[in-house]
Amino acid sequence: MEAKLVQLNNRRRSVIIEGIVSEFQRGMKSSNIYTDIQSEEGAKIFKILETSAEPEVLMAEMSPQQLASFASYQSKLEVGSADVLETLVYM
C-alpha cells in the first residue's frame, strides 16, 4: 500500500515537473527579447558563439559594440529565463 502511494506521488511530481519545463521552454520561445536591433545582433552573436569550437577566440576579435550587444542580449535572456521559471514554480 505504501509503495503504491510513493509510486503515485512520484508520478504526480514527474507530471508537474514536465509541465513546468514545457511551459518554461514555451515561454522562452515566445519572449520579447528579439524586438530591438541590439538584441537581434546579440542573438546572432550568441548563436555563432554557441556553435563555435573556440568561442573565446571569436570574442577576442569582436568590436566593443558587438560585445555590448552580446552582453545585453545575454543579460536579457538570463532575466527572462529567471522570471519565467520563477512564475511557473510559484503557480
The continuous run of DSSP H or E covering 59 comes out as helix 55-60
Which distant-in-sequence residues (6+ apart) come within 8 Å of 46 by Cβ? 70, 73, 74, 77
Of 7 and 1, the structure prediction assigns the larger pLDDT to: 7
What pLDDT is attached to residue 34? 44
Of 30 and 54, the structure prediction assigns the larger pLDDT to: 54
Q: Where are the domains of the chain?
A: 2-89
* Span 22-52, pLDDT tens digits: 666 666 555 554 445 567 888 888 888 888 8
* Span 58-90, pLDDT tens digits: 888 888 888 888 888 888 877 766 666 666 666
Q: Which amino acid is at 62?
A: M
